[in-house]
Amino acid sequence: MSITVDVGLLSGKTATVKAGLDEEVGVLKRRAQIALGVGRGRLVDSSGSALDACAPIKCTRLQNGDLLTLHINRVQVQAGCLSFAAILGDGSVVTWGSAVDGGDSSAVQDQLKNVQQIQASNFAVAAILGDGSVVTWGDAAYGGESSAVQDQLKNVQQIQACTEAFAAILGNGSVVTWGSAASGGDSSAVQDQLKNVQQIQASNFAVAAILADGSVVTWGSAAQGGDSRDVQDQLKNVQQIQTTGMAFAAILGDGSVVTWGDAGGGGDSSAVQDQLKNVQQIQASGYAFAAVLGDGSVVTWGLAADGGDSGAVQHQLKNVQQIQAADSAFAAILGDGSFVTWGTAADGGDSSAVQDRSALLQHWHDEVMCLRQEKAACLAAWESEKLSMRKWGQETIRRLKAELAARDKEAAAAREEVRAERETDEVLHILRQYWGDDDRQWQAEADSLQRSKVALREQWQVAVEAKFDDDLMARMSTLDDEKAELRRQCHEEVTRLLEEKDQLKNVQQIQGSQFAFAAILHDGSVVTWGHAAYGGESSAVQDQLKIVQQIRASYCAFAAIVGDGSVVTWGDPAAGGDSSAVQDQLKNVQQIQANDCAFATILGDGCVVTWGSAAHGGDNSAVRDQLKNVQQIQGSQSAFAASLGDGSVVTWGDADQGGDSSAVQDQLRNVQRIQASLVAFVAILDDGSVVTWGNAGCGADSSAVQDQLKNVQQIRASYCAFAAIVGDGSVVTWGHAANGGDSSAVQDQLKNVQHIQASSCAFAAALADGSVVTWGGAAYGGDSSAVQDQLKNVQQIQASQSAFAAILADGSVVTWGTAAAGGDSSAVQDLLKPV
């Protein structure tokens, strides 16, 4: 099978490309590049996510007719001392030059994908990837080997290179360094100060970092700026730092400048310090600085031969807009478009040979600009004239069309008049041939026809009325009997409905057992209905059900917390419907939890009271002394688990279904939350790890995925499986595969998951882009392919036992799963707007 998609460039040019589902995305990309006539780039889907070129198309979410964008980035080249490295349009890297100095990246080529930035020292190269990690190669001693700090190089935002070392700013504002220690590769002496770093600059053998508070931290060779202690008290509110090969210059918030490092290389600005006010910009050559002031003048210092002395051209340096630097010279662009140069003549400091040509070019430029303005004025005048002529032509055409239409109308009227006269003459001619010119004969014939018509109408009416009267009498006799019976039935039905309506007003909460319901009304009373044996009959306790706060249901019974903190129960006694044995203990109840046949309550003092089937956890006597300061209780089908205030867990009930946690008791420390499947429990600890126990085949054995269960944020349970959202937004599943314990078929789609819902045997995950991924038993909602194209911008998902319902952003609802369990909402779809 194959897929056809449209691929477009940012310019708007598009091409239709076809590829097989078993082919890789890279094949599709290459065909798009050929069809569009462009170089290498990255394929991006409609959500802005880059597609992995190595991934098979069938494993992506691409569909027929999708619109993709091919991002073509300009090739970026970075030069080391003896090598080059280039980032190509698709994010891969090509290197050449001296192999040992960074010209050979073959050892790390498979890692160089989606490269965002490259920096080069003299003898090594470092690349930042799209995921914020770093790949290095070249001379190991000078930064080509970063394995010692590789675990720290995560979420890297920026890298700077010295001659022999590198420094990286991380997303949290800290700094990681590697390479030659003497050249800035070792920042351990100042590591505790490197917090909230905003910018880094590097000289040949030293590094300076600007912090968020405007202060500066330096390290590396002291002689070349790695030691700023002499000026540290001045380095406040620093806005920008520039560096020569041997020194640093910092612009402060008040426009003044502070320098340090090698004095001959620009580290000493004392001779011009009083001039350095309202500095807007600084540029650096190899050993000199040039500063542009607010008034457009320029101040220079450092090695004279490298541009540190601009005295010979100082009178020309007015209204300077920008300065550029070579290794030993400067060039300033003035406001009138001319330029001034100084420094070593052979390195660009002498521009006299081209100054005349520059003036001539400026003259030609001015002439061209004048001609362009004249041309624009002529074009504007011509466009105005064309517009005027077009309006005159349109008005003339409208007037002529109106005149022609009027003439056509007159002609049509004349033709119709002639035709009518002709037809009248023909009719009169025929009648006269039949009757002649005797008007009496005409009148007699007309009167005869009228009398016949009246007689026929009278006969028809008499016959119809007679038949109608006979049928009506017979039918009315039957209808009287039917109407009396219907009136009696309607009266009974209306009376019943009114009684129910009077009861079911202002319902606040509903709970259901297997075959009955209980509703809490606004006044705190309770209404029940359904199978009496399952709790649908509450008349025996109705006088106690006042100011009800909460109701919980087991399989066949109900338990309600009333306003004074006591509990009222009804339904099957064996399933918890009779709490008389513990009624005197049920005081100040805070919370109730239920499994199939038992209840457990947390009291105000943190103790627990249970009742119902002992085998299902209704008897907690074996662990009662441990149940103190209980914070939360969860129930499986036949057991309970309670988390205590100290983070430990106590369990009781059916051992095979989670009632015995002794095998993992030493791991159950600092528990934050507990979740239960039908026959197993899972606990999330405060470090984000997970502990499981109960029936191994139904989720109690997570050993196969334990190394993935880190930084767990949320867990959902089907009958016999679990699904956990971890910190990076991916999902880990375990337990019975048919119940959703195996998500491998959709694992590549489970990214940036926001929340999960579970039916009895399937899961549905809502992603950040509003789409939904499902897995597990298809009949239970694990297959949403029939509605997948509708599942966009999903806001919330709810689940029944065998189906799911998703609310979209526009308030509409999409359902899937077993139709009889709510998976088919077509009969009410027009009512579901907006939910």
630 occurs within a structural domain = no
CB atoms within 10 A of CB 447: 9
722 occurs within a structural domain = yes
The pLDDT of residue 483 is 47
259 occurs within a structural domain = no
pTM beyond 0.85: the answer is no
The pLDDT of residue 532 is 82
184 occurs within a structural domain = no
Task: From 46, 71, 96, give the residue that closes a domain.
Answer: 71
Nearest C-alpha neighbor of 723 from the set 615, 656, 817, 797:
797
Average pLDDT over residues 689-714: 89
Out of 417-431, 476-490, 699-713, least confident range: 476-490
CA geometry: angle 230, 234, 235, nearest 5 deg: 95
Higher pLDDT, 690 or 447: 690
- Structure tokens given for 483: 């109407």
Q: Which residue has the tokens 């189906």?
A: 803
pLDDT beyond 90 at 137: yes
pLDDT beyond 50 at 501: no
The pLDDT of residue 29 is 84
Distances (CA, A) of 527 to 30, 521, 537, 575, 778: 68, 8, 9, 20, 37
Higher pLDDT, 479 or 796: 796
* Average pLDDT taken over every residue of the chain: 82
Count of domains forming the chain: 3
- Exposure string of 285-318, with b = 16+ CB inside 10 Å and e = fewer, is bbbbbbbbbeeeebbbbbbbbbbbbbeebeebbe
| Strand-by-strand arrangement of the 257-261 sheet | 238-243, 247-252, 257-261
CA geometry: angle 701, 704, 705, nearest 5 deg: 100
Nearest C-alpha neighbor of 812 from the set 827, 791, 798, 785:
791
φ, ψ (nearest 5 deg) of residue 292: -95, 125
The pLDDT of residue 824 is 84
Task: From 52, 71, 90, give the residue that closes a domain.
Answer: 71
Residue 65: how many CA atoms within 13 Å on its side-chain side?
1
- Structure tokens given for 244: 């020569």
Average pLDDT over residues 475-480: 50
Nearest C-alpha neighbor of 250 from the set 539, 12, 233:
233
Confidence of residue 247 (pLDDT cuts 50, 70, 90): very high
- The fraction of the chain above a pLDDT of 70, given in percent, is 80
pLDDT beyond 70 at 484: no
Distance CA 336, CA 341 (A): 15
Strands 680-685 and 690-694, how do they pair? Answer: antiparallel
Listed in sequence order, the residues at least 6 apart from 554 whose beta carbon sits closer than 8 Å to its beta carbon are: 513, 571, 575, 576, 594, 595, 596, 597, 598, 599, 612
- Condensed to tens digits (0 to 9), the pLDDT of residues 651-676 reads 999 888 899 999 999 999 898 889 99
CB atoms within 10 A of CB 548: 22
Confidence of residue 418 (pLDDT cuts 50, 70, 90): low
The pLDDT of residue 497 is 42
The pLDDT of residue 236 is 92
139 occurs within a structural domain = no
φ, ψ (nearest 5 deg) of residue 465: -65, -40
Question: Do 553 and 512 touch, CB atoms closer than 8 A?
Answer: yes
Distances (CA, A) of 584 to 269, 589, 600, 609, 612: 89, 12, 15, 10, 16
Question: Do 518 and 527 touch, CB atoms closer than 8 A?
Answer: yes
- Exposure string of 631-657, with b = 16+ CB inside 10 Å and e = fewer, is bbbbbbbbbbbbbbeeeebbbbbbebb
Q: What is the CATH number of the domain that holds 22?
A: 3.10.20.90
pLDDT beyond 50 at 140: yes
The pLDDT of residue 360 is 46
490 occurs within a structural domain = no
Higher pLDDT, 517 or 746: 746
Q: What is the CATH number of the domain that holds 746?
A: 2.130.10.30
Phi-psi sector, 156: left (phi>0), alpha (psi -120 to 50), beta:
beta
- Condensed to tens digits (0 to 9), the pLDDT of residues 318-359 reads 998 888 888 889 998 888 777 889 998 877 888 777 665 445
CB atoms within 10 A of CB 590: 15
Range list of β-strands (E), 381-515: 507-512
Distances (CA, A) of 762 to 60, 733, 750, 777, 819: 22, 11, 15, 5, 15
pLDDT beyond 80 at 763: yes
Got the DSSP string for 597-620? SEEEEEETTS-EEEEE-GGGTT--
CB atoms within 10 A of CB 487: 10
772 occurs within a structural domain = yes
Higher pLDDT, 790 or 80: 790
Listed in sequence order, the residues at least 6 apart from 552 whose beta carbon sits closer than 8 Å to its beta carbon are: 511, 558, 559, 592, 593, 594, 599
- Structure tokens given for 720: 């016999």
**Long-range contacts of the stretch 797-805 (C-beta < 8 A, 24+):** 797/755, 797/757, 797/764, 797/766, 797/772, 798/757, 799/757, 799/758, 799/759, 799/764, 800/759, 801/759, 801/760, 802/759, 802/760, 802/761, 803/759, 804/757, 804/759, 804/762, 804/764, 804/774
**398 burial level (CB within 10 Å; 0-12, 13-18, 19+):** exposed
- Structure tokens given for 237: 């509110």
Out of 186-190, 408-412, 445-449, least confident range: 445-449
Confidence of residue 311 (pLDDT cuts 50, 70, 90): very high
Listed in sequence order, the residues at least 6 apart from 778 whose beta carbon sits closer than 8 Å to its beta carbon are: 762
Nearest C-alpha neighbor of 700 from the set 730, 669, 663, 671:
663
Q: Which residue has the tokens 């239920």?
A: 594
- Structure tokens given for 207: 């590094």
Residue 469: how many CA atoms within 13 Å on its side-chain side?
6
- Condensed to tens digits (0 to 9), the pLDDT of residues 601-651 reads 999 899 999 999 998 999 999 999 999 998 989 999 889 999 998 999 999
Average pLDDT over residues 59-83: 78
Structural domain boundaries, residue 775: 702-835
601 occurs within a structural domain = no
Task: From 387, 415, 431, give the residue that closes a domain.
Answer: 431
- Condensed to tens digits (0 to 9), the pLDDT of residues 194-245 reads 999 998 999 989 999 999 899 999 999 998 999 999 999 999 999 999 999 8
